[in-house]
């Protein structure tokens, strides 16, 4: 019997009912492995299901920081970020990884490929697990990075752990100004906030150095806060602005993560096909 056929993987988080991860995983391996949505709002319950029945799990909001704390060991990205989106059973215990980090960088670099654009400043909206990954990813791209979070103390504690990046922390009132000055905006807040409604045409044009092209990457692909109306307003004000769907982030973090799960590279073209089918 092929032992690989007995391997089981899944996703924990809440809510996850609209997640594309099962379809992506099936496409990546042609149905060779099982992949489930492990639904539930209680992290401890979902984590126990992982321990009892699964070889590895993806982790999404709001469980990424809990997952990191549970692991016995972790990769360097998880250690800096303090959050994990992937847990794997090993002979030495539970290992935590953070493939959001590479997913963010790849999404931005692919969107800008061949453009010659120079980024100076990034705005990170939110400081949960995804926001922390975005801040570290931006910092490692040598961007001056501002983190905006409703609970300023949480963001300040995170920034203080990583003084090498020089993260600046501000409250929601600074959102329009920071959006206007940034060349790269990474929006990781799970829901649409009132601050998005305060943006006007001048905020969509250029960055701090009046770079005409602005890049907006959003984490949430199932219920995006940047709806068609807002994206239309942004493009009307700045035709060179590039909105990057969270599906890009999902794809790039999944390709790396699934390879960690199985030891086999998934079929990324088939995975891309699933995303294209969903529009």
Given the residues 64, 214, 242, 247, the one annotated as active site:
64
- The SS3 of residue 252 is helix
Q: If you ran DSSP here, which 8-state letter would residue 120 be given? A: -
Which of 90, 11, 7, 72 lies closest to 46 in space, CA to CA?
11
What are 34's strand-pairing partners?
A: 8
Are 180 and 123 a contacting pair, CB within 8 Å?
no
Residue 242 designated active-site: no
Nearest to 61 by CA among 257, 267, 221, 213: 221
Question: What letter would DSSP give residue 45?
Answer: H
The phi, psi pair for 196, rounded to 5°, reads -60, -35
Q: Give the helix ranges, DSSP H, for 16-115.
A: 21-29, 43-53, 64-70, 76-81, 100-111
Residue 39's contacts (CB-CB under 8 Å, 6 or more residues apart) are 14, 16, 17, 46
Question: Could you say which DSSP state residue 177 is in?
Answer: H
E strand segments, the chain = 8-13, 34-39, 56-59, 73-74, 86-90, 93-97, 121-125, 144-148, 168-170, 184-187, 215-218, 242-244
Gap between the Cα atoms of 223 and 18, Å rounded: 9
Active-site residue set: 64
């Amino acid at each position: 019997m092929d032992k690989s056929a007995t391997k089981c993987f899944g996703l924990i988080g809440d809510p996850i009912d609209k997640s594309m991860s099962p379809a992506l995983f099936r496409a990546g391996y042609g149905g060779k492995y099982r992949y489930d949505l492990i639904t539930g709002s209680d992290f401890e319950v979902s984590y126990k299901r992982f321990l009892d029945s699964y070889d590895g799990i993806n982790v999404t909001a709001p469980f990424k920081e809990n997952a990191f704390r549970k692991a016995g060991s972790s990769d360097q990205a998880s250690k800096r970020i303090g959050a994990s989106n992937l847990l794997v059973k090993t002979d030495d215990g539970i290992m935590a990884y953070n493939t959001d980090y590479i997913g963010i960088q790849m999404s931005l670099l692919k969107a800008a490929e061949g453009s010659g654009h120079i980024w100076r400043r990034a705005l990170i909206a939110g400081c949960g697990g995804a926001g922390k990954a975005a801040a570290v990813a931006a910092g490692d791209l040598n961007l001056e990075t501002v983190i905006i979070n409703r609970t300023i103390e949480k963001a300040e504690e995170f920034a203080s752990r990583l003084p090498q990046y020089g993260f600046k922390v501000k409250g929601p009132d600074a959102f329009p100004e920071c959006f206007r000055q940034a060349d790269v905006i990474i929006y990781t807040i799970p829901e649409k906030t009132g601050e998005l409604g305060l943006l006007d045409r001048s905020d969509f044009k250029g960055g701090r150095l009046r770079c005409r092209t602005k890049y907006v990457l959003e984490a949430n692909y199932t219920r995006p806060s940047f709806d068609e109306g807002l994206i239309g307003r942004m493009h009307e004000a700045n035709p060179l602005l590039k909105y990057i769907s969270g599906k890009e982030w999902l794809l790039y973090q999944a390709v790396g993560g699934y390879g960690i799960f199985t030891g086999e590279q998934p079929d990324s073209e088939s995975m891309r096909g699933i995303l294209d089918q969903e529009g």
